[in-house]
């Protein structure tokens, strides 16, 4: 005697079913578009001729199903697009390893080897720009002066020496900038370069991070400029 396996599977308690049985049962429980229109056809065929189905109600049911189907398809397409964007972002981020990138921060790490570089946003014009280099305790290490009128993005560098001409300790330093703007001195923004040591790939909720030497991780979206690979 032939036994209906689907019937026997349906009699099992959920805890007794294998993962494959559960997946198959869930798939069989889904109402596809063909099933919906088959049921709708049966409803029309066996309806009471003296009490026909309401046209407006049937149109509403069809519209609701079509809308649900469209949303599901759009969701699948967006998931695919997100995977493509994440893959492209990962490829872009991996190419930054070993390079210096410009970031919207006034902090930089000095390792007693490479010169610390940055950019000052001088705007339409500034004069007598002063860059104050401070350690993590806020103590003055060095003051750098850029004479003459400056405008736009003004590059500057620090060789890692203090006011006495001695190498500063390895660590994190803050760069405070002010300049003469017209008749008074004003604070300006300093943007600093940092070396990318590695990349942490993100997902839909978590952004891709560039892990910077001595500074930790920052979102890839904060990278303003790539200076190029430093010579070994």
Mean pLDDT lowest for which of 67-81, 134-148, 214-228? 67-81
CATH number of the domain where residue 220 is located: 2.60.40.4070
| Residue 99 phi, psi dihedral angles, 5° rounding | -110, 160
> Are 119 and 29 contained in the same domain?
no
Q: Which residues of 122-156 are buried (b: 16+ CB within 10 A; e: fewer)?
A: bbeebbebebebbbeeeeebbeeebeeebeeebeb
> Are 223 and 133 contained in the same domain?
yes
Last residue of a domain, one of 41, 69, 92: 92
> Are 86 and 108 contained in the same domain?
no
Question: How many alpha carbons fall within 13 Å on the CB side of residue 149?
Answer: 4
Distance CA 96, CA 100 (A): 8
- The predicted pLDDT at position 22 comes to 54
| pLDDT classification of 220: cutoffs 50, 70, 90 | confident
Residues of the chain above pLDDT 70, percent? 58
- The predicted pLDDT at position 232 comes to 43
Whole-model pTM above 0.75? Answer: no
Distance CA 223, CA 232 (A): 23
Last residue of a domain, one of 92, 111, 138: 92
Query: pLDDT at residue 204 above 70?
Result: no
> Are 86 and 117 contained in the same domain?
no
Over residues 190-197, mean pLDDT: 94
> Are 36 and 151 contained in the same domain?
no
Over residues 64-92, mean pLDDT: 61
| pLDDT classification of 96: cutoffs 50, 70, 90 | confident
What is the sign, positive or negative, of the torsion defined by CA atoms of 225, 228, 231, 232?
Answer: positive
Distance CA 196, CA 99 (A): 6
Over residues 103-132, mean pLDDT: 92
> Are 71 and 106 contained in the same domain?
no
- The predicted pLDDT at position 136 comes to 93
Report the SS3 class of residue 187.
strand
Residue of 72, 39, 71 lying closest to 58 (CA atoms):
39
> Are 117 and 42 contained in the same domain?
no
Model confidence over 27-40: pLDDT tens digits? Answer: 555 556 566 667 66
Domain enclosing residue 43, as ranges: 5-92
Greatest mean pLDDT range, 7-16, 121-130, 136-145:
136-145
124 against 76, higher pLDDT: 124
> Are 124 and 203 contained in the same domain?
yes
- The predicted pLDDT at position 1 comes to 45
| pLDDT classification of 123: cutoffs 50, 70, 90 | confident
Over residues 81-95, mean pLDDT: 62
Report the SS3 class of residue 100.
strand
Number of domains in the chain: 2
CA 10 to chain centroid, in Å, comes to: 45
| pLDDT classification of 168: cutoffs 50, 70, 90 | very high
> Are 118 and 156 contained in the same domain?
yes
The tokens describing 164, both together, are 């006495």
Residue of 70, 57, 65, 56 lying closest to 36 (CA atoms):
65
Residue with tokens 């409803």: 43
Distance CA 100, CA 196 (A): 6
Last residue of a domain, one of 70, 92, 114: 92
Query: pLDDT at residue 83 above 70?
Result: no
Over residues 7-26, mean pLDDT: 53
> Are 191 and 77 contained in the same domain?
no
Report the SS3 class of residue 97.
coil
Which region holds residue 50: left if phi is over 0, alpha if psi is between -120 and 50, else beta?
Answer: alpha
> Are 110 and 185 contained in the same domain?
yes
The tokens describing 151, both together, are 């405008």
Strand-pair partners of 149 = 127
């Amino acid at each position: 005697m032939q036994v209906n396996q689907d019937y026997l599977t349906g009699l099992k308690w959920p805890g007794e079913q294998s993962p494959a049985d559960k997946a198959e049962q869930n798939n069989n429980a889904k109402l596809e578009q063909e099933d919906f229109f088959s049921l709708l056809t049966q409803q029309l065929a066996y309806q009471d001729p003296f009490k026909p189905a309401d046209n407006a109600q049937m149109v509403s049911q069809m519209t609701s199903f079509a809308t649900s189907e469209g949303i599901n398809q759009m969701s699948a397409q967006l998931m695919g697009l997100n995977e493509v964007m994440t893959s492209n972002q990962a490829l872009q981020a991996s190419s930054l390893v070993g390079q210096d990138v410009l970031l919207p921060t006034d902090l930089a790490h000095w390792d007693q080897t490479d010169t610390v570089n940055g950019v000052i946003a001088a705007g339409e014009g500034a004069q007598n720009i002063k860059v104050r280099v401070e350690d993590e305790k806020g103590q003055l290490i060095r003051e750098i002066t850029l004479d003459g009128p400056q405008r736009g993005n003004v590059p500057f560098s620090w060789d890692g020496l203090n006011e006495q001409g001695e190498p500063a300790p390895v660590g994190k330093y803050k760069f405070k900038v002010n300049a003469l703007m017209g008749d008074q001195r004003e604070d300006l923004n300093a943007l600093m370069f940092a070396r990318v040591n590695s990349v942490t790939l993100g997902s839909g909720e978590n952004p891709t991070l560039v892990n910077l030497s001595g500074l930790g991780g920052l979102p890839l979206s904060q990278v303003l400029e790539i200076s190029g690979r430093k010579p070994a």
